[in-house]
Amino acid sequence: MKNDTTPTSARKKDISSGTDILIAFGGHEFEYDVYTLVMAFYPGKKISCVYPQEEEIPEGPGLCLSVTFHEDTVTAELSGPEMTEKKTAEAAVPLEAPREERKNILKRLVYGLLSAHTGRVLPWGDLTGIRPSKIPMKLLDSGWRNPDIAEYMRKTYLVSAKKTALAIAIANREKALLSELDTENGYALYIGIPFCPSICLYCSFGSHPYERFKAYVQPYLDALYKELDYIANRCRDRKLSAVYIGGGTPTTLSAEELAGLLSYLRGRFDFGNVREFTVEAGRPDTITEEKLSVMKANGVSRISVNPQTMNDRTLEIIGRNHTVEDIIRAFHMARDAGFDNINTDLIVGLPGEGIEEVAHTLEQIKALAPDSLTVHSLALKRATRLHLFKEEYVPVSFENSEEIMDMTGRAAAQLGLEPYYMYRQKNMAGNLENVGYARTGCFGVYNILIMEEKMDIIAAGSGASSKFLYPDGRIERVENVKDIGNYITRIDEMIERKEKQFLCS
């Protein structure tokens, strides 16, 4: 059975141009799982895959991992010019075993070989490409007890005791909150506003500088209203549980444009069952008293003021056109406007930031005392300028570690905030995680819904992705085009894509 998510970059055989690690894979099953596991041990290295049964294995100067399948066993072999002898490991993989079990056996085998060679133990063990809390959530739904779940995660995926405890604690909080929602007849609404005052160096979202694309704003909003009209009519007999306006930075819109959007939503959708109405204010250089007043008047219950860092030098490097002082001013302005559920986002692993810089940021955040704190481990996606031009940043580090993440967790605890949602990404600094912390009563409902996939999420706007859930566990995604010009001109097509899915559900 082929794995259809194998990355194109792994398929290309440009071995001569500096491959650091070669994976010789004896088949087309589970190769992506092995590829991402090798990437976790060797972040930033160039990794290429070849298939001995189809092509000759090229010689290269780097490390070579060979995976060979036999009738009911698999062998992994590690070799390289710096090694005095090859390292080999073998495991039984019964052909009649379920696919998931065979995959886990293979990943534990490769993990053990790489861990022994590097001397490294990954905090999340061999887990790759998965939201860790989904595992305990599924087991909780099946009636498992917490101690049994912990033992399963440690034995099956080699997850550390600390990360196991984190995943289980989050799953229990998520389960409690989800039990209060109508997951069968409810839905969440996401609205994308793809404009920002400037594009941050690490950004991989479909954002557009507001001033350069100002002529598109009203046509975009007109198209958005048309899509929202369709959603409001289609979902009129369902309960709206959460509304999240993201982007981009929604508060890049003028106060008048923002007022128009929010008052339109209040007029077209029934907010009687809405548990949370979030606007991702985000950039402090877009927050004004007038916009805060507009949001408050229209019932917005949760906003974000996102520093990412409280170090001015880093803000300059990553292209944020504001200072730490602006962040503090915007946060206090939001408090004065009456907002009692303010989130702050931080990114650890930013260029040049190590323990001292993160510690400084956390001290400043503790002084602000936000109601929730979301800590992101920087993920260098291919679309970001930070990745494309990373050679320019060789003198500065991209550092993250379990010590730094532990430090952010302690700071959150000192603020009285508990972990309530978590996810991971590829190419993440330190192979760690993103964690959301909040005080009781301020857990982000939409964040839990997007992670745990327990309710339909209907999304409007360019680049927005809807998720339709089915009783058999299947999830169908419906994507909108990212380019705002195409979104405007093809809005009827975007609506038709949703209608086809609604007719199938």
DSSP for 79-118?
Answer: E-TT-SS-EEEEEE--TTS-HHHHHHHHHHHHHHHHHHHH
Q: In b/e form, how buried is each residue of 295-306, taking b as 16+ CB within 10 angstroms?
A: beebebbbbbbb
Split at pLDDT 50, 70, 90, the class of 106 is very high
Kindly report the pTM of this predicted structure: 0.85
Condensed to tens digits (0 to 9), the pLDDT of residues 319-372 reads 777 899 999 999 999 999 999 999 999 988 787 788 899 999 999 999 999 999
Let me know if 229 is exposed, middle or buried by CB neighbors in 10 A (0-12, 13-18, 19+).
Answer: middle
Please determine whether the domains at 8-120 and 181-497 fall in the same fold group of CATH: no
Strands 475-479, 47-50: pairing kind: unpaired
Q: Is 228 helix (H, G, I), strand (E, B) or coil?
A: helix
> 181-497 is classed in which CATH architecture?
Alpha-Beta Horseshoe (3.80)
- How many angstroms separate the CA atoms of 172 and 103, rounded? 27
- pLDDT for position 58: 66
Condensed to tens digits (0 to 9), the pLDDT of residues 205-251 reads 556 666 787 899 999 999 999 999 999 999 999 999 999 999 889 99
382 close to 137: Cβ distance less than 8 angstroms:
no
Please give the helix or strand (H or E) that residue 469 lies within, else none: strand 465-469
Split at pLDDT 50, 70, 90, the class of 26 is confident
In this structure, the dihedral spanned by the alpha carbons of residues 323, 315, 247 and 326, taken in order and rounded to 10 degrees, is -10
Q: Is 363 helix (H, G, I), strand (E, B) or coil?
A: helix
- How many angstroms separate the CA atoms of 295 and 300, rounded? 5
Measured in whole angstroms, the distance separating CA 257 from the mean position of its chain's CA atoms is 29
HEC string of 149-171 equals: HHHHHHHHHCCCHHHHHHHHHHH
- How many angstroms separate the CA atoms of 228 and 189, rounded? 9
Backbone angles phi, psi at 240, to 5 degrees: -80, 120
Question: Among 166, 131, 203, which residue's Cα sits nearest to residue 425?
Answer: 131
Q: Is the pLDDT of residue 19 over 90?
A: no
Split at pLDDT 50, 70, 90, the class of 131 is confident
Please give the helix or strand (H or E) that residue 270 lies within, else none: none
Condensed to tens digits (0 to 9), the pLDDT of residues 285-319 reads 899 999 999 999 999 999 999 899 999 998 888 77
Q: Among all chains, which residue has been given the structure tokens 């559900």?
A: 505
Tokens of 73: 């066993």
- pLDDT for position 328: 96
Backbone angles phi, psi at 24, to 5 degrees: -95, 105
> 8-120 is classed in which CATH architecture?
2-Layer Sandwich (3.30)
Looking at every residue in the chain, the average pLDDT score rounds to 87
CA distances from 164 to 37, 120, 407, 454 (A): 18, 18, 18, 22
Q: In the chain, what's the furthest Cα-to-Cα distance?
A: 72
Domain ranges in the chain? 8-120, 131-180, 181-497
In this structure, the dihedral spanned by the alpha carbons of residues 303, 345, 209 and 458, taken in order and rounded to 10 degrees, is -60
User: Would you tell me how many other CB atoms lie within 10 Å of the CB of residue 327?
Assistant: 26
End-to-end CA distance of the chain: 28
Angle at 453 between CA 233 and CA 193, to 5 degrees: 55
- pLDDT for position 199: 57
The half-sphere exposure of 195 on its side-chain side, counting CA atoms within 13 A, is: 22
More confident of the two residues 453 and 504: 453
- pLDDT for position 208: 66
CA distances from 389 to 202, 300, 320, 380 (A): 11, 38, 17, 11
